[in-house]
Amino acid sequence: MKPKAHRSADGFTLIELMVGIALLGILLMLAYPSYTSFIRNAQVRGAAESVLNGLQLARAEAIRRNGNVQFTLTNTLKGAALAGSTDWNVYAALPATPTVFDDLVQERLAGDASSNARAQVSTTVGTKAADPGAGMPATITFTGLGRLSAATTARQIDFTGATTDVRRLAIVLAPGGDMRLCDPGHSLATNPQGCS
């Protein structure tokens, strides 16, 4: 009778497993800075797009109601005061009280308290406000024709982050009511994403 041959086991040895885990750890360490930068940029873009959507809602509501509607950047984060935070609300005036904005259309409280996105409001296009929260709280009023009211002085809303590696974005407001999200780091003459 022949002795049974010992079959080699399929799988990983402990040394192979430890080498694989070490390589995975090194790859994660190399990717982490890019990942955190990606997350911060996504937070700034999300905040900018949210404010742009609120502005577009306010303009559409003003046209629909044929009356004034106010968009306000409240300078709060989930209702608590924080310089440059991006909570906003849209209020319309009721026909009985055309100068009092007391009819809430929509309110947006930031869903992510850890977001590093901060806003600044400027009265001129192409300039960056000094600090997060500069020019805020800001009220932007649209008329029944969808134009900015004469009382509205805001012309640009800048979005930045807490660190310098975040891509800056801006919303440029035209007196006619047009608005667009753009990148102030690019020239409009050479890049369609540019601001001016």
SS3 25: helix
Question: pLDDT per residue over 88-133, tens digit each?
Answer: 999 998 878 878 888 889 988 876 656 788 888 888 887 665 677 7
Position with higher pLDDT, 23 vs 6: 23
- Mapped onto helix, strand or coil, the DSSP state of residue 28 is helix
- Per-residue pLDDT tens digits for 30-48: 888 788 888 888 888 988 9
As to burial, measured by CB atoms within 10 angstroms (0-12 exposed, 13-18 middle, 19+ buried), residue 134 is middle
Domains of the chain: 15-182 (3.55.40.10)
Give pLDDT, residue 32: 81
Give the pLDDT score at 123: 85
pLDDT band at 8 (very low <50, low <70, confident <90, very high): low
Q: What are phi and psi of 16, to 5 degrees?
A: -60, -40
**Residue 98, preceding bond cis, omega within 30 degrees?**
no
More confident residue, 189 or 50: 50
Local confidence band at 188 (pLDDT 50, 70, 90 cut-offs) = confident
pLDDT tens sequence across 122-162: 888 876 656 777 888 889 999 999 999 988 888 999 988 87
pLDDT score, position 129:
56
Q: Are strands 169-173 and 76-77 parallel, antiparallel or unpaired?
A: unpaired
Q: Mention every residue, 6+ apart, whose C-beta is less than 8 A from residue 68.
A: 62, 92, 93, 98, 101, 141, 142, 143, 144, 149
Global pTM reads 0.81
What token pair was written down for 8? 């080699």
Cα–Cα distance for residue pair 31/164, rounded to 1 Å: 19
